[in-house]
């Protein structure tokens, strides 16, 4: 038993080391994309912090979800955050599973480059939206009478730049349309839907996102419109950007093409290859690749023509 555990541990250690070397090489080639994505995450947090300074509490707007879903209350508002944390951590752990498990379909660095591209595009649209119109926040700490509903003017620029993490993120107001929680959840679930292998987990993930949508409204963190807009906006963003990004390399071939070339580059390289073939007398159409024979210094495409010509010369 001890021998078996030692042998398996040795195999696992070798697998982890090999994966680390592979991912380091990918990181060296793609660190700019990851860094840009992380910087954009900070900018998104900074924008959410900034809109809190101009937030003005007021009466809660009429909302269909508030009529249909009973209010959870402040004591049970943590249920929504707990579910979101579970989705978030589960996805993060899944992206690192190639370091341990034998079944490897993704590269961790490349999958995060892709995820950050989806997040940045969605968050950019979100920033434009919630700065266009500031709605009175429906959350408990954003209502009239709460000390956190309005932020006093900052004493220095550093107070704004530091964002007061994580308290400033958890108790923000004004960044409503559309829900940031739904952005992360939908991006994660759509990514697993494409690159995951377990059908049951895919179905469970979509069910959890639907449940989270109701919990966000029931906990009064967002209006229903914030969740509805997130559902179609994020899905459309992921759909169109995913078509522009180069597909992840197949791990079965052991090749890792470095992200992020656009698909248009692939088309250009293919066009150049076809032009090169044409210049060398090779047709791009397989139906046009007939046997070519030279007779009396002339190139003939049809062998039957050659025979006919030879018969006439004999006569």
> Tens of pLDDT along 52-74?
999 999 899 999 999 999 999 88
84 falls within a domain:
yes
pLDDT at 257: 42
Task: Classify 302 in phi/psi space as left (phi over 0), alpha (psi -120 to 50) or beta.
Answer: beta
More confident residue, 163 or 165: 163
Choice among 52, 141, 222, 285 that is catalytic:
222
Instruction: Please name which of 188, 20, 45, 182 lies closest in space to residue 111, comparing C-alpha atoms.
Output: 188
Helices 199-218 and 78-95 pack at an angle, to 10 degrees, of 150
Report the Cα–Cα distance between both ends of the chain, in Å, rounded.
92
Least confident of 142-146, 185-189, 198-202: 142-146
Residue numbers of the domain that contains 206: 29-251
- Catalytic annotation present for 226: yes
Annotated active-site residue 301? The verdict is no
The span from the CA of 315 to the CA of 313, in Å, is: 5
How far is it, in rounded angstroms, from Cα 216 to Cα 227?
8
Catalytic residue among 75, 226, 285, 288: 226
| pLDDT above 90 coverage of the chain, percent | 55
Quote the pLDDT of residue 311: 42
Question: 102 in a domain, yes or no?
Answer: yes
pTM: 0.77
Q: Determine, yes or no, domain membership for 181.
A: yes
Instruction: Dump pLDDT digits (tens) for 224-248.
Output: 999 999 999 999 999 999 999 888 8
Q: How many whole angstroms separate alpha carbon 254 and alpha carbon 275?
A: 30
Q: Angle, nearest 10°, between helix axes 108-132 and 2-53?
A: 20
Domain presence at residue 61 = yes
Residue 302 resides in a domain:
no
H or E element in which residue 299 lies: strand 298-300
Question: What was the pLDDT predicted at 293?
Answer: 45
Residue 99 in domain: yes
Does 141 fall in a domain?
yes
- Does any domain span residue 6? no
Rounded Cα distance, 156 and 293, in Å? 84
Number of domains making up the chain: 1
């Amino acid at each position: 038993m001890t021998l078996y555990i030692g042998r398996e541990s040795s195999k696992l250690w070798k697998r982890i080391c090999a994966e680390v070397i592979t991912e380091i090489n990918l990181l060296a080639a793609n660190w700019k994309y990851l860094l840009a994505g992380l910087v954009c995450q900070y900018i998104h947090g900074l924008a959410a912090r900034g809109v809190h300074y101009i937030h003005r509490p007021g009466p809660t707007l009429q909302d269909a979800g508030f009529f249909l879903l009973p209010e959870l209350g402040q004591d049970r508002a943590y249920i929504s955050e707990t579910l979101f944390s579970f989705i978030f951590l589960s996805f993060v752990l899944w992206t690192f599973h190639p370091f341990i498990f034998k079944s490897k379909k993704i590269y961790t660095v490349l999958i995060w480059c892709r995820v950050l591209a989806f997040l940045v595009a969605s968050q950019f649209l979100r920033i434009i939206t919630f700065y266009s119109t500031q709605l009175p926040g429906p959350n408990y700490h954003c209502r009239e009478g709460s000390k956190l509903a309005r932020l006093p003017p900052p004493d220095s620029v550093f107070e704004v730049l530091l964002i007061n993490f994580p308290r400033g993120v958890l108790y923000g107001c004004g960044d409503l349309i559309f829900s940031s929680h739904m952005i992360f959840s939908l991006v994660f679930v759509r990514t697993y839907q494409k690159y995951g292998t377990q059908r049951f987990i895919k179905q469970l993930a979509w069910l959890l996102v639907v449940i989270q949508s109701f919990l966000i409204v029931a906990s009064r963190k967002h209006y229903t419109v914030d969740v509805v807009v997130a559902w179609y906006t994020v899905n459309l963003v992921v759909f169109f950007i995913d078509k522009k990004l180069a597909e992840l390399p197949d791990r079965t071939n052991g090749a890792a093409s470095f992200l992020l070339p656009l698909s248009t580059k692939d088309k250009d390289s293919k066009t150049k290859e076809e032009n090169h073939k044409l210049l060398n007398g090779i047709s791009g159409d397989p139906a046009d690749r007939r046997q070519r024979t030279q007779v009396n210094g002339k190139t003939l495409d049809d062998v039957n023509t050659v025979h006919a010509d030879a018969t006439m010369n004999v006569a």
